[in-house]
Amino acid sequence: MQSERERRFVGPRRGQLLFVLTFLTLSVLLLSQIGTQTVWVKKTDFFAQPRFWPAVGVGGMVLFTALHLWRLPFRRIERTDLREALRWAAALEYTLWFMGYVVLVPLIGYLPVTLVFVPLLAWRMGYRSPQMMAISAGFAVFIVLFFKGVLAVRIPGAALYEYLPDAWRSFAILYL
């Protein structure tokens, strides 16, 4: 049964309690580590201390999140909260894609991994026509040429390049 305060709440309910609990937990964890991650320097002004402003910021996070939790009219996790949490977790999938890309580039090479990942991500996002696959592959080649050729970004050669003959290896390290 809902309380009067819960009935009068006009904002969206889904996910608020989970967000507040997660944010409060992370804020308390950060505040507990402030002593090991920052220092208090002798003979330095109070407001110039390296620990002062991080402590103010993280302390404010803890205080205001705790106040938000205290004033929250509902304190039960419901099915809509869990559905909202699943929507938040869905965004983590792209973090895993990125981490896989970062791990594979030093092993296989910038061009081959980019040529595989860009069409795979396009496929994952729903662009599945042959035309879109060709556009995504062309975009991958453009990105590699732009970063390596125009911007001259130096990306280390891949471990796979060590197995190539000498002339091919230097070409692959410079241009692929």
Of the pLDDT bands very low, low, confident and very high (cuts 50, 70, 90), residue 14 is confident
pLDDT at 42: 86
Give the mean model confidence (pLDDT) for residues 49-64. 93
Cα distances (Å, whole numbers) of residue 56 to 39, 59, 69, 115, 138: 14, 5, 20, 46, 49
Give the mean model confidence (pLDDT) for residues 31-49. 86
**What sign results for the dihedral spanned by CA atoms 157, 159, 165, 168?**
negative
Q: Which residues of 135-156 are buried (b: 16+ CB within 10 A; e: fewer)?
A: ebbeebeeebeeebeeeeeeee
Tens-digit pLDDT profile for residues 94-116: 999 999 999 999 999 888 999 99
Is residue 4 over pLDDT 80? no
Of the pLDDT bands very low, low, confident and very high (cuts 50, 70, 90), residue 10 is low
First to last CA, the chain: 64
CA proximity to 172, closest of 16, 34, 104, 156:
156
